Structure 1
Amino acid sequence: MTWRAPEIDRRHEPFLGDERTMLEGWLNYHRDTLLHKCAGLTAEQLRTASVEPSALSLLGLVRHMTVVERAWFRQRFAGESLPELHDWAADPDAEFTTVATADPEADFAAFRAEIEAADAAAAGHDLDEEFTLRRRDGSEHRMNLRWIYVHMIEEYARHNGHADLIRERVDGATGD
């Protein structure tokens, strides 16, 4: 039997609620949307690149967002010392360029686990809680948890647009 990405019961965006409810709700909606775009596809379909020379694929997007969830919520905000998921020194785009040998089932499990860990890292913290972002160029910026939520919603929204186009290329499926 060929492995296929699991179907998802996508949570809808909230229409009412306080700021935290809205931010978490919209983030969860976009997380689920990425999984929805992958649902029912085989490993090979998930590895299909958008269009040459791009290495962008649905599996690459899942792997990328796993890295992004980990980096913003756990490494940067919570200050957890975690190993990197890919060898960035060897290939700065490894989450996209190594999908040919990737295990989609393991990558989807890692994505879900990272979301749970990210949610746990943010739980109980005030949106105004600050941390210092240290960039590779040596600069530092004070940021808060609210910024991470807004950024993550933006990041998913952008990549879900990519996912729409890739999914249409893979099997012609369109929709929200």
Structure 2
Amino acid sequence: MVWTAPTIDRVLAPLSEPTADERALTEAWLDLQRETLLWKCGGLTEEQLGLRCVEPSNLSLLGLVRHMAEVERDWFRTRFAGETPGYLYCTDDDMTAEFDLDGADAERDLATYRREVELCRRATSGHALDEVYLDPRRGTEMSLRWVYQAMLVEYARHNGHADMLRERIDGATGH
């Protein structure tokens, strides 16, 4: 039996709660972006998820999932929370290794992504958007609000890529 990525129903909370407070809206929009990436992967086989079908780019849906797991971990857990979990796929010598799919396992990588999102939710739970931390890479103070905004931008960009990849793979469209 060929494994396929599970299909998901996205929760469109930001569209149904347009007067929620800033934190609720920010988290709802981020969750919608997270779900959109998984939604774009739904029903595809491991082979399809690994297709690099927008030449000359090396992007694939699986590479994007792996990349966003790294980005979630980096911003929320490593930088904001000060944890030291290390890289999931990257190395100090290859900071784009998440896009190298040699030895990748789509089922495991999607589960890793979901787990990382949950760990990031825990790392930010109970922290105010105005909370400031010293970013170890930039050497400057940053707020959790800034991190959420950066993540929304990152997802919006890559979900646009996912739209094109999915359409090239099987013609499926939608946002």
Q: In the alignment, is the contact (CA less than 8 A) between 2:66 and 2:89 conserved in 1?
A: no
Query: What residue number does 2:4 align with?
Result: 4
Distance in 1 between residues matched to 2:52 and 2:34, nearest whole Å: 21
Matched, 1:20 2:20: no
Query: What residue number does 2:35 align with?
Result: 32
Distance in 1 between residues matched to 2:41 and 2:140, nearest whole Å: 35
Query: What residue number does 1:156 align with?
Result: 155
Structure 2: segments with no counterpart, 5+ residues = none
Distance in 1 between residues matched to 2:78 and 2:174, nearest whole Å: 34
- What residue identity is the alignment partner of 1:128? D
Distance in 2 between residues matched to 1:161 and 1:173, nearest whole Å: 13
Percentage of pairs with the same residue: 55
1:50, distance to aligned residue in structure 2 (A):
3.3
Q: TM-score, normalised by structure 2?
A: 0.94
Distance in 1 between residues matched to 2:126 and 2:165, nearest whole Å: 37
Query: What residue number does 1:76 align with?
Result: 79
Q: In the alignment, is the contact (CA less than 8 A) between 1:47 and 1:100 conserved in 2?
A: no
Q: Which runs of 4+ in 1 moved over 6 A?
A: none
SS in 1 for 2:141: strand
1:87, distance to aligned residue in structure 2 (A):
4.0
Pairing partner for 2:113 from 111, 114, 122:
111
SS in 2 for 1:167: helix
Q: In the alignment, is the contact (CA less than 8 A) between 2:5 and 2:45 conserved in 1?
A: yes
SS in 2 for 1:101: coil
Map 1:42-121 to 2 at 5 A. Answer: 42-97=45-100, 99-121=101-123
Residue deviations 1:30-85, cap 9 Å, x none? 00000000000000000001333321000000000000111111100000011211
SS in 2 for 1:44: helix
In structure 2, the CA distance between the partners of 1:72 and 1:158, relative to structure 1 (3 Å rule), is same
Structure 1: segments with no counterpart, 5+ residues = none
Q: In the alignment, is the contact (CA less than 8 A) between 2:90 and 2:96 conserved in 1?
A: no
- What residue identity is the alignment partner of 1:70? R
Aligned-pair RMSD on alpha carbons? 1.2
Distance in 1 between residues matched to 2:92 and 2:151, nearest whole Å: 25
Distance in 2 between residues matched to 1:22 and 1:71, nearest whole Å: 22
Distance in 1 between residues matched to 2:83 and 2:51, nearest whole Å: 33
